[in-house]
Structure formats: structure tokens, C-alpha cells
Structure 1
Amino acid sequence: MPSASLLGYRVATARAVANMTRPQLCAASGVSISMIRQVEAGTRTPSDAVLDALAQALRTTADELVGGPGRTDSRVHVAIPALQAAIADYDLPADGPTRGLDAIARDVAAMTDDRVNSRYGRLAERAPALLEELFRAVDQSVGHDRQRASHLLALAIRSADAVAYKYGYRDLSARLVELMRWASAIAEDAALDAAAAYVRTETFFASNRLGGGLRSLQAAADRLPAPRTVRLTAAAAALHMRAAVVAGRMRDADNARHHLAEAERLARIVPERLYDGTAVGPDSVRIHCLAVAVELNDLHNLGSAVAEATRWSPPGDLPAERRSHYYIDLGRAHMALGQPQRARESLQVARQIAPQHVREHGQVRAELATLVRLDRGRNSELLAFARWAKAI
């Protein structure tokens, strides 16, 4: 059973979708208006009988109200057991064919491209075999070739982790993050270590240990050598970008602005592109400025950020996931400013850019559910969008 507040939110959203008032739901279900009000407010957990009656009146099921909408992309879920099996014997891989590292590198680059452009189904299907091959390559190589194979393995693991994390396989994601750190250590590459620390933040998000996540990022930044190369500079900028968002989510404005300023300073000398799988450069930092404003929920800064969005949009050559994230955050800003119609428009733009990213984004689902409630289920286009995203 979910928390009373979450269950109440789902009941209220289902009522909005059904375009029913509380008196109408009372008449259809036989549940008192007082009980409905308490359930929706999250101050009372309904009995099984009450939940069944509400679900039947709302033309849904008790399981849907308790468990939330069903899963999305079945291709990903079908591929997960193979991914779990592929990493089980990472340090003792079975014998098998292994291509040259140049050929493997091309496939790793294709996986990274799938990840940053939110093609999760294809990524999940190709990941297990490539990971198995890379484990063999690391096991069979020595010297520089082993370091290069480990670098490629870390990048491939990062792409696989994106699927595990976004689709809710948090234990698998945590395991993949540790394997990325293991591969990075073999590669003996400071910039790659920073990338692993960047990805590790997911485990702190998942456990809601934001303070630990911020300390981890700060420690990784402190460990980096002086940024005498573009790649090391980009690694430092990426750590500060993520630290700014984490601090913003903690409502630590001073820390958030400090890290954002450091990211801006470093990004000025970094050409915008992917570095060890992370898009870094002036445009990426600009996108993070909006993300930090949203996390801090400072209405003055949000108003300025929304005004900026009328003059600037992410360039089309940025990865689709990063561009769509900008419009997701823009939608969140519009919601905070009481502009639901503009929020919906921003989410539609995000969907056009990267449909799978939008469909698997928890904040998008929350925004859409809220929009449906505000609209009382009257807009058929909004309802279709929300159902597509499994928000209702």
C-alpha cells in the first residue's frame, strides 16, 4: 500500500479524469463525502471495501489506485533479465569471441548516442551482448589495451545504467554504478573517475540522501588534477553542474550558486560536446541555470528564467535528452508561476524532441497529473498525453 498522501493524490487525479465532483463520486460509490475528502487529503487510509467502491465508481481498479499506472516500454523490461545476467560474472567472463577494440569502440559510441538521444528500447536490447564482450576484452587484455577496454566498458555500463535507472530498476542501477567505478579504476583515468562520480549521484537521488550526493560530488571535484586539458576541464564543469542541481534540490541557494558559477567559469573554455558521455559547454550550463532556478523554487529567478526562454532555446545539435530536459524544467517553472497552459505547451515540445525521455520522467508524470486535476479532465488532448505517459 502506498502512503496515504500518494494514494489520495491518485484518487483525486482519477476523479478529475472522470470529470466527477465529490458529491457525484459519493452518489456513484456510496462512500461519504467526508471520507472522500479525507482520503484525497491523505489524512485517512481507506479500507479495502472503500477502495474497491471508489475504484469501481471511477472506472478504474483498486490495483491501479494502489500501484499507479502500469509500466511503459515493454522492450526495455524484456531486456532487463539479459542485462542482469550479463553482469553477474563480470570478473570471470565465459569464453567467447572478442573483436578488436576499434570495432567495439564504434558500438560503444552508438550506445552512447542512443542514451543521450533517449532511444532506450534499442539501447537495452544491444547492451547485454556488448557488455559481455567488453568484460572478456578487459579480462584478456594487458597494458594500454586493458586500460582502453576498461574505458570503453565504463562508458557502455553508463549507457546500460541509464536504462536501469530510468525504468525503476534501482538495485540494478546501483550495481552498474559500482561496476562503472570498478572499470574506471582499471582505466586509471581521472576524467573517467569524475564521470563515474557524476553518475553515482543517481544512487543518492534514489535514496533521497542529497547531502551525501553533494559531498560525493565535491570530493570528486577536489580529487581531480588541475584542469590543464579540455577533457579535465569538462570533467570539472560537469561535476559542478550536477552539484549545483543537487544543492538546488536541497534549497541550499549559496552552494547552488557557487557550483553554478564554477561550472560557468570552466565551460567558457570548453567547446560544447560530449565528454565521457556528458554534454558539457556553455549551452549545457545555460540549461542547468534553469534547472537550478526550478529546484530552488525562487519565484523571482524563475520569472527571469522564463523570460529568458522567450529569447533563447537549446541549439538543435545538443543531445535530444538534454534539450528535452530544458523544456521539462521550463514546464515546471511555468507551473510554479501559475501558468498551466504554458506548462503543457513546454511539455509537448519536450515530447516532440525526445518522446521516450519524457515518457519515463517522473516529474513529467507529476506535472501531467496535476494539469489533469486542474483541468478536471475536460481537455481530451491533455488526457491523451497523460495516458500516453502513464501519468493517470
Structure 2
Amino acid sequence: MESETQPMGRRVAYWRQRRGMSQQVFADRIGKSKSWVDKIERGVRRLDKYSVITELAESLSIDAGQLLGREPRRRPGLGGCLDQVEVESIRQSLERYERLGRFLEAAPIDPTPIPELRGAVNYCWLAFEKGHYPVVARSLIQLLRETPLAEDRPLGGTAADAAEVMTQVYQIASTVLRKLGEAQLAWLAADRAISAANRGNDPLLAGIATTRVANALRSLGRYQAALDLNVQVAHGLISESGGETSSPAEISVYGALLLQGAMAAALAGDATTSADLLDSASRAANILGRDANYYYTSFGPTNVMLHRAAAFVELGEGGDALAVHDRIPPAALADLVAERRAHHYLDMSRACVQVGDIEQAARHMVTADRNAPAEIRCRPVAIELIDQILHRAKGEPAPEMRRLAEEVGALN
């Protein structure tokens, strides 16, 4: 993220790169030479005319104040994270059909080799797990353009290999969009993920794609549909693989489906079904015997406990959620990926608000922000919770909480 203490040239470079422009493309857009842009970005040449600063900002689709180091008040849902330009770029990528380019008279684009795409997708997953959502977004914009072409003209692999890469791109897109509150776009990406998975040869990718569809349905308020989908696919997967003879990867995908089903049941107010699914997931985790990350599921005993606590939060049982949290071994929690840890502390902050412990809610929120800042600063649910904590706090909030509130624009 660009800093307010950086020289202006560095801020220009940051936003140019964030918009996916080379120095030459940016220079052409503003009617300057590439050498001029390079000197500005390196600080060799100063920007001292406000009219020029305004022109640069307009070309970068930002406010002039952002180049001057004066960050505008952030909007909930995008605070310190993706901006509307990037969300719109992802939207346009999802709405395009590059595989129909020969019919739509689109300019031909050379396909990217499948091994190169796999590497880019792995990088994108790792950025997601660290909660670096702006990095994920910039990667997605490019991958959503490149991966559909690879299936038509696969290089270094087969069309099925390309489809398997493609489903992962759509799955990452769906998950990030859902966190940003873009439920309809998340559903579109998840639906594309299912279609791509079915053209590949890996049934576990289709299983994981199911959780993305179900999660998008949850965001749209269709809890029962999400529950049914997760449970049906989970049962089909385990019956085909033979239960306890399944591989660790199969158990992980099966368990992830059960966990998402449990969350859907909790949102529907069905505590009994939620508990049953969590118990089944716990048995699967015990078979696995450890926390793992097959297919980027983070499935294992610890993640089951995190979901058990989260389910209690959705059921409005904050005290029970906090009791589960107290039983989670700190070392095991620390071993999970940053996104999972931050998500959990966000849930525990919600639990504290439910029981009226606002000071502890603030502490959990600050801890979540330390683990993965974008998980807090990008998500509407987190911004709204910060606002609740501020309004319900007695007296002035703690300095760290106040600083976090200021940075996400929650303070007037």
C-alpha cells in the first residue's frame, strides 16, 4: 500500500503499477515522454504544478489529494483496499468471453503457457492467504484475461489442465468479491468456477468450487440452498472415495464442504444441523490428524474449532463462541494462514459485542488487523463492526482502536 510519507514520485509509480500501466503506456496517456515519467517517479524531477498533478491523478483515476499524500475519507467496503476502478476491471473481465474472440472479431492474443499460469495462480493464492487483497485483485485482472484463452490454445499442457487453472482463478475471484460485499459478482465467478472445474479431470476442484457457489448463495441470503448444495456434494464425494480410505486431500475437501454447510445452517437458524455437520467435520479432521492446507482449504482440527465458534456467532450465541475460542491452542491458531486468523478474530470481536464486552471486542479487532489488515479494512462487515464498537464504547476508545478507526474512516 502506498504511504502518505512517500515522495510524490513514488506515489505516482505506485498508482501507475496498480493500474497495470507501463511507464510508456502512462506517458502516452498524459502526453509526456517515458523519460519524463521515469524522472518523476525516481524523484529526479519535481512535480510542483498543481495542474500537472491534477492531470496525472485524472489519468490514474484517483483524487489529486492522493498524489499529494492526503488520503480521502475511505468508503466502507473499499477502505484501504481495492478501489472502484479495480472492482470494475474485475467485473468487466468476468463479463468478457475471450474464448469467443474469433467470433467477436477481437484482436488475437497469444495464450500464456499453462505452467506459467499455474505459477501465477499459486502466487495469487499465497497473496490471498496473507490477506493482501489489492495484490490479489491486480493479479486477477490479468489472470481473468489470460486463462480462458489457454483452454482454446493450450501451451505446455492440455485443455483440461487449462480448465483446472481457470477454475482456481474464478474461485479466488469469487472469494475476494464476496469479502468485498459484491455478492452478485461473487456468484457469477463461482458459477464460472463450477463450469471450468467440470471441464477438468480433478473432481476435488469441482468439490471446492461448490463451496464458492454455496458461499455466494449465503451472501445473497439463500441459506437453505447453500446448505443443501454443500451437504449433497460432500456426501457424494465421500461415498465415491470410500470414507476412511480417502486420501488426505479428499478428506480436506470433504471437511471443507461440511464446514461451509454448517455455516449455512447456522445462518438459517438451524443449530441442530449446524452442530451435526461440525461434529462430522471434526471426525474427518481427526482422521486427517493435523491441520493441513490441501487445495487451500486450511482444513484440520483447528479450523473446525474456528468454524464452531463462528457458527455460534451466527446463531447469536456469543458466550458459547468465546468459550470455544478459549479452548483453541494459541500455537495451533498461530500456524494457520493470516487470512484465517484475522477472520477468526473478527468473529470473536462480533461475539464480544453480542455479550456486551466492548473493550475486548476492540482488542480482538486490533488483533485481527495486525494479522491481516486488508481482512478488516476491505470488508463492509468489519467497517460496520468498528462503527458499533465506537458507538457502544464507554469513554474514549483505546489508542490502537482509535487509530484503526481513523484509518478506515470510521471517525468523524
Shorter chain as denominator, the TM-score bin is 0.7 to 0.9
Q: Does structure 1 conserve the Cα–Cα contact (< 8 Å) formed by 2:113 and 2:154? A: no
Equivalent pairs: percent with the same residue?
21
Shift of residue 356, structure 1, vs aligned partner = 0.3
Shift of residue 212, structure 1, vs aligned partner = 1.4
The answer as to 2:150 corresponding to 1:137 is yes
Letter in 1 for 2:166: L
Letter in 2 for 1:163: V
* Residues 171/252 of structure 1: CA separation in 2 closer, same or farther (3 Å cut): closer
Aligned residues between the structures: 326
* Residues 201/285 of structure 1: CA separation in 2 closer, same or farther (3 Å cut): same
Q: Deviations over 1:64-121 (max 9, x none)?
A: 9xxx858424644322333233331143245322333222211110001111221111
Match in the other structure for 2:223? 210
The answer as to 2:93 corresponding to 1:86 is yes
- RMSD, aligned α-carbons: 2.6
Structure 1 runs of 4+ aligned residues shifted over 6 Å read none
**SS of aligned partner of 1:123:** helix
Q: Does structure 1 conserve the Cα–Cα contact (< 8 Å) formed by 2:184 and 2:220? A: no
The answer as to 2:187 corresponding to 1:187 is no
Shift of residue 213, structure 1, vs aligned partner = 1.1
Q: Does structure 1 conserve the Cα–Cα contact (< 8 Å) formed by 2:255 and 2:285? A: yes
Q: Show structure 2 runs of 5+ residues with no match.
A: 1-72
Q: Deviations over 1:251-294 (max 9, x none)?
A: 21110111001111111233433232322112211211211222
Distance 2:345 2:374 in 1: 14
Q: Does structure 2 conserve the Cα–Cα contact (< 8 Å) formed by 1:112 and 1:156? A: no
Match in the other structure for 1:266? 284
* Residues 92/274 of structure 1: CA separation in 2 closer, same or farther (3 Å cut): farther
Distance 2:318 2:144 in 1: 45
Shift of residue 321, structure 1, vs aligned partner = 0.7
Letter in 1 for 2:309: L
Match in the other structure for 2:3? none
Bigger shift: 106-115 or 211-220?
Answer: 211-220
Q: Does structure 2 conserve the Cα–Cα contact (< 8 Å) formed by 1:115 and 1:162? A: no
Relative to the length of structure 1, the TM-score reads 0.76
* Residues 314/123 of structure 1: CA separation in 2 closer, same or farther (3 Å cut): same
Relative contact order higher in (CA < 8 Å, ≥ 6 apart):
1
* Residues 338/376 of structure 1: CA separation in 2 closer, same or farther (3 Å cut): closer
Q: Does structure 2 conserve the Cα–Cα contact (< 8 Å) formed by 1:76 and 1:124? A: no
Q: Does structure 2 conserve the Cα–Cα contact (< 8 Å) formed by 1:248 and 1:292? A: yes
Match in the other structure for 1:256? 274
Q: Show structure 1 runs of 5+ residues with no match.
A: 1-63
Q: Does structure 2 conserve the Cα–Cα contact (< 8 Å) formed by 1:76 and 1:125? A: no
Distance 1:307 1:277 in 2: 26
Relative to the length of structure 2, the TM-score reads 0.72
The answer as to 2:77 corresponding to 1:77 is no
Letter in 1 for 2:295: D
Match in the other structure for 2:166? 153
Matches within 5 A, 1:298-313: 298=317, 301-302=320-321, 304-308=323-327, 312=330
